[in-house]
Amino acid sequence: MQRRHLLATALPLLAPLIAQAQTPLKIITTDQPGGGMDALLRPMADKLAQALARPVLVENRPGAQGRIGGQAVVASPPDGNTLLATVQAGIVINPQAYPNWPYDTRADLVPVTDLGRGSLLLLTPGSAPFTDFAGFVQWLKARPTGSVSYGTYGLGTISHFGGVLLARSLGLDMTAVHYKASGDQVKDLAGGQVAWGWGPAAGAIAQLVKAGRLKALAYLGPQRLPAFPDVPTIRELGHANVEMDGWIGVFAPRGTPADTVARQQQEIAKVLAQPAIREMYLNLGFAPGGAAPAEFAQLLRADWQRFGETIRSIGYKPD
């Protein structure tokens, strides 16, 4: 009798936990399938599903500079079942640059944690008639003014700002071609449709470089990549003013309980600390994150100010 009474008392308390374990955790990403962020997110999501003992689904909603995926999460119930994974551009850059951004990224989204920080490779087609950055610059300066185009994976991303700052540093006029996501840009780079671009050292890029279909001439971040030790940083090449890095962040809808956010951060941090995930991220030039919500929120405030100043200094206005 006592055992049945304890069971009857415990079942109502366990019911929400059992229901949540059966409900998938959906992570909406603003990248397309096969993109750089997608390549980092999916292995983490698989490990997270094992740790949580519940399905974790990655849903790709690229486009509109991060608005499509962001709006889907902002409109989701704050029940801990939906998260957003996106790059810093969709949180601290584009909302400052676009006058009618449809939601307030600082009020409508709750910072959970960062997946980590990384930067981009300067990439050119494998068929390009040069082998290093010096030859690339010489080739650029021999082109007619305004005739060179470079690819970005979206307006207001560090791939865009890196291009603007490099063109300024070289004293050249170049045209940005903006793609919906990194994968589309990489395809056109490999095919020679654009002269150069910035791309993450993740997904298909490493394979394309090794296969000779792309050349990696410089790295936008502060240190050389373990996976590309022979590729110099942009600072080493004399353009320290172009150096830039970025992050991928995880967010929940406004109103998600603080204890739920804390648990999600702790579980994601544990996954990112697993040797296999950590090694994979580092080899791709991405330092694993896992910051506590308050620490990540502090980074967001600092980057909001930093990129706001960059937007004003280069006179950036969305096309």
Strands in the chain per DSSP E: 25-29, 56-60, 82-87, 109-118, 120-125, 149-152, 175-178, 196-200, 214-219, 246-253, 286-288
Whole-angstrom Cα distance, residue 194 to residue 149? 6
Whole-angstrom Cα distance, residue 216 to residue 128? 11
Question: What's the CATH fold of domain 120-242?
Answer: D-Maltodextrin-Binding Protein; domain 2 (3.40.190)
Q: With CA atoms as reference, report the closest residue to 220 among 196, 192, 203, 185.
A: 196
The confidence score (pLDDT) of residue 98 equals: 87
Query: Checking phi first, is residue 42 left (phi over 0); if not, alpha (psi -120 to 50) or beta?
Result: alpha
| Residue 268 · residue 250 · CB < 8 Å | yes
The confidence score (pLDDT) of residue 6 equals: 55
2-118+246-313 matches 120-242 in fold: yes
Strands in 205-315 per DSSP E: 214-219, 246-253, 286-288
Whole-angstrom Cα distance, residue 156 to residue 92? 10
The confidence score (pLDDT) of residue 99 equals: 82
Whole-angstrom Cα distance, residue 277 to residue 78? 28
- What is the average per-residue pLDDT within 277-282? 91
pLDDT at residue 8 greater than cutoff 70: no
Q: Residue 239: enclosing H or E segment and its boundaries?
A: none
Give the right CATH number for 2-118+246-313 from 1.10.1130.10, 2.70.98.60, 3.40.190.150, 3.40.50.300: 3.40.190.150
Per residue in 225-269, pLDDT (tens digit) is: 888 999 999 999 999 999 988 899 999 999 999 999 999 999 999
User: Per-residue confidence at 318, pLDDT binned at 50, 70, 90?
Assistant: confident
pLDDT at residue 22 greater than cutoff 90: no
pLDDT at residue 35 greater than cutoff 90: no
What is the amino acid identity at position 280? M
Structure tokens at 261: 């956010």
Per residue in 181-203, pLDDT (tens digit) is: 677 888 899 999 999 999 887 66
| Residue 73 · residue 85 · CB < 8 Å | no
| Residue 205 · residue 284 · CB < 8 Å | no
End-to-end Cα separation, the chain, in angstroms: 72
The confidence score (pLDDT) of residue 15 equals: 47
Domain ranges of the chain: 2-118+246-313, 120-242
The confidence score (pLDDT) of residue 10 equals: 53
Per residue in 126-164, pLDDT (tens digit) is: 999 999 999 999 999 999 988 999 999 877 788 888 999
